[in-house]
Chains A and B, each alone.
Chain A
Amino acid sequence: MNTVVEPNSFKTGPDEEGMFGIFGGRFVAETLMPLILELQQAYEDAKNDPSFKAELQALSTHYAGRPSKLYYAEGLTHHVRQMAKDQGLDGGAKIYFKREDLNHTGSHKINNCLGQILLAKRMGKTRIIAETGAGQHGVASATVSARFGLPCVVYMGATDVERQKPNVFRMKLLGAEVKPVSSGHGTLKDAMNEALRDWVSNVEDTYYLIGTAAGPHPYPELVRDFQSVIGTEAREQILEREGRLPDTIIAAVGGGSNAIGLFHPFLDDKSVEIIGIEAGGRGLDGEEHCASMSAGRPGVLHGNRTYLLQNKDGQILDGHSVSAGLDYPGVGPEHSWLRDTGRVSYVPILDDEALEAFTLTTRTEGIIPALESAHAIAHAVKIAPRMTQDKIMIVNLSGRGDKDVHTVGQLLGMDI
């Protein structure tokens, strides 16, 4: 659709207007415009302030538990090699997990929240709001708010409140106020609308802690920067372990913050194949999926231009995914640009395939992955048997799956 000239480097975006090619931008109401300009300035200042970097570094190490481990998933690797054998092949790539599930709060979300709460503090903001899908970002926001003594309001779709109960309870324990949003399908998109309405009504004291690498500039950039620690570490760790770069890296994409975090440091490593996994839901034929880049087209929502699921009148569709964290009809703008440039390929994984990977990982590795991460694992398991055994892949295990046990139990017909 949009032909793009391949740039010298894939790591230079966004431009001053917050654009990644035609994607990104600042499509917000005038009320918010001065705020995002102020945020941009504050972020520029912070980036150049060694004390900001030092404080974030210290919190990452001692509070969040970084660096996260790069783990050789031997059980899963054995499994894919067995699969290959069964097909009469002798392949089976070596699979590593980047263990973001081991971070404090159980997912990659803490990386971004620590960075942004320090920004909020610098800006003198006294109230935090956030949107959440699976509740991972909500929990991380509630956590850093508790840590820094700020009140926190989390908007969460009513459907998600229902399917992610453990996380709702965690947020409440942490002192956050969870506001269920019942408009639309009651999922992440609706939570984001409501958070934006809160922000526009409380501009003086409120900091909007966006959970993904989307929204108006500078959010996609700053969230990516805070999450890039994932890829920076993974790159160093694999070089140390294997003495070379991986052949393939894979991450699940909802809004796409864990994915861009892993991908960004590898973007200019041309030998590394990069794959983003979208939620294929119940299949791409109907509307029950969230594969905005596989089945959507560029449009404008939530402050940025990006691939969106929408009808021919430009009305946004609700989409569906078994995983609340991927249940969003859009995607961060940098992913849209990476898609169009061809640097990253984006492929869908169905609900059922993700569930299967969830169970498989639990049984072969003794790790219960988040349903979001299970999408990425599912694709790894799908392609690994056809790769030779000397190939190396890194899958971002973006979060742990404790929050999903109710959903999975229900789908598998098990009583909890």
Chain B
Amino acid sequence: MTTRIDRKFAALKAEGRPALVTYFMGGDPDFDTSLKIMKGLPGAGSDIIELGVPFSDPMADGPAIQAAGLRALKKGMSLTKTLDLAARFRQTDDTTPIVLMGYYNPIYIYGVDRFLVDATASGIDGLIIVDLPPEMDEELCIPAIKAGINFIRLATPTTDDKRLPKVLQNTSGFVYYVSMNGITGSALPDTRRVAAAVERIKKHTDLPVVVGFGVKTAEQAKVIGSAADGVVVGTAIVNAVANTINPDGSLVADPAEAVATMVKGLSSGVRASSLAAAE
């Protein structure tokens, strides 16, 4: 069964360029604004949308995404509303893949079976659940695959060759290579090491490999993009939203516009990397 994710990567392959994968936090700074942000992403050049589900205790995230999640929760965001956000987006866009990214507990409490039904109905194509390693595949990964939703796994520098097959076993859609050990928003690592790591993963899988953690500028997107099938940008986008918010919660600028401007810049980066790769 092909999903929107599979079709997107096939199209990009034909186009000869890497994907721009953009993460933003659902409900940040509020539901309506984040819907506007989401709707603006494809037009600004985002190929795949990672929709963050806020969680009270985001153990693998740095200060920027922690703060975004708390802003969203304070405005009453929840998993239910995040699914609603996706459904509202789907009313006007039936092609851009949506990957839900977050932590397991809200899904566990929602109920895995009910969640998969509702996620499918909301047009969710894939899941990245940070705290579900392959050892816990029975929890959500296997049921998700049965429901036709891609379960996208993170591979990290600590995932050695011996462990890679286990990590890749039930992965579908794409592989998300976390380019460094650490939390989201950390500094960008050496690009040559990233390229070598992507090569290493590709020896074990035919799935597209996208690289994340630390990409902030068009130039970085270009460089990373030339070594991978896609580039994930998260913290930089979340920061773009944060920079439009005053300490009292009022807005100094339009968050959706700020995000679109940033994504357009990054998009020029990934589009340039196809040329760079061709050189």
Contacts and interface: CB of A to CB of B under 8 A. Distances in A.
Nearest to A203: B181
Interface stretch (B12-20, B53-61, B222-230): B53-61
Interface in B84-136: 103-110, 130-136
A141 B66 CA distance: 28
Contact of A201 (B78, B107, B167, B186): B186
Interface in A186-220: 189, 193, 196-197, 200-204
A35 B132 CA distance: 15
A30 B57 contact: no
B109 A299 contact: yes
Interface stretch (B1-9, B40-48, B156-164): B156-164
Interface stretch (A79-87, A252-260, A313-321): A313-321
Given A29-B154, A189-B57, A313 B80 contact: yes
How big is chain A's contact interface, by range? 35 or more
A281 to B, nearest CB: 19
Interface string A141-182: 000000000000000000000000000000000000000000
Contact of B133 (A33, A197, A302): A33
B153 interface: yes
A193 B57 contact: yes
Given A29-B131, A201-B182, A316 B56 contact: yes
B25 to A, nearest CB: 14
Interface stretch (A20-28, A105-113, A240-248): A20-28
A75 interface: no
A29 B167 CA distance: 12
Given A35-B158, A200-B60, A201-B186, A27 B109 contact: no
B55 A315 contact: yes
B79 interface: yes
Interface residues of B, number: 44
B105 A34 contact: no
A327 to B, nearest CB: 15
A364 interface: no
A17 interface: yes
A316 B104 CA distance: 12
Nearest to B73: A315
Contacts of B57: 184, 189, 193, 301-302, 316
A312 interface: yes
A408 B190 CA distance: 53
A35 B133 CA distance: 13
Contact of B158 (A31, A184, A303, A316): A31
Nearest to A18: B135
B105 A301 contact: yes
Contacts of A201: 181-183, 186
Q: In the complex, which of the residues A202, A204, A300 has the most CB atoms of chain B within 10 Å of its own CB atom?
A: A300
Q: In the complex, which of the residues B78, B107, B182 has the most CB atoms of chain A within 10 Å of its own CB atom?
A: B182
Contact of A30 (B55, B78, B108, B133): B133
Contacts of B157: 31
Contacts of B104: 27, 300
Nearest to B82: A313
Contacts of B136: 25-27
A30 B106 contact: no
B116 to A, nearest CB: 16
Interface in B27-69: 54-62, 66
Q: In the complex, which of the residues B108, B133, B136, B153 has the most CB atoms of chain A within 10 Å of its own CB atom?
A: B133
A310 interface: yes
A198 B163 CA distance: 23
Contacts of A196: 59-60
Contacts of B134: 33
Contacts of B55: 314-315
A183 interface: yes
B135 A200 contact: no
Contacts of B163: 33-34
B178 interface: yes
Interface string A329-345: 00000000000000000
Nearest to A189: B57
B109 A312 contact: yes
Contacts of B183: 197, 200-201
Nearest to A298: B108
A35 B163 CA distance: 12
Nearest to B156: A31
A30 B66 contact: no
Contacts of B178: 30-31
B155 interface: yes
Contacts of B59: 29, 193, 196-197, 200, 302
A189 B153 CA distance: 26
A370 B163 CA distance: 45
A314 B109 contact: yes
Given A34-B159, A200-B182, A314-B105, A29 B133 contact: yes
A230 B155 CA distance: 41
Interface string B181-207: 111001000000000000000000000
Interface in A25-66: 25-35
B109 A30 contact: no
Given A31-B181, A201-B183, A313 B79 contact: yes
27 contacts: A26-B135, A26-B136, A27-B131, A28-B133, A29-B60, A29-B130, A29-B131, A29-B133, A30-B154, A30-B158, A31-B182, A32-B158, A33-B133, A33-B134, A34-B163, A183-B66, A189-B57, A197-B62, A197-B183, A200-B183, A202-B181, A204-B181, A300-B104, A303-B131, A308-B105, A313-B80, A314-B108
Interface of A: 17, 25-35, 183-184, 189, 193, 196-197, 200-204, 299-303, 305, 308, 310, 312-317
Given A29-B133, A30-B178, A203-B181, 15 more contacts: A26-B135, A27-B136, A29-B131, A29-B154, A31-B60, A31-B156, A35-B158, A197-B59, A299-B105, A300-B103, A300-B105, A315-B54, A315-B73, A316-B57, A317-B56
Interface of B: 54-62, 66, 73, 78-80, 103-110, 130-136, 153-160, 163, 167, 178, 181-183, 186
Would you list the 4 A-B pairs with minimal beta carbon distance, nearest first? Answer: A314-B109, A314-B106, A201-B182, A313-B78
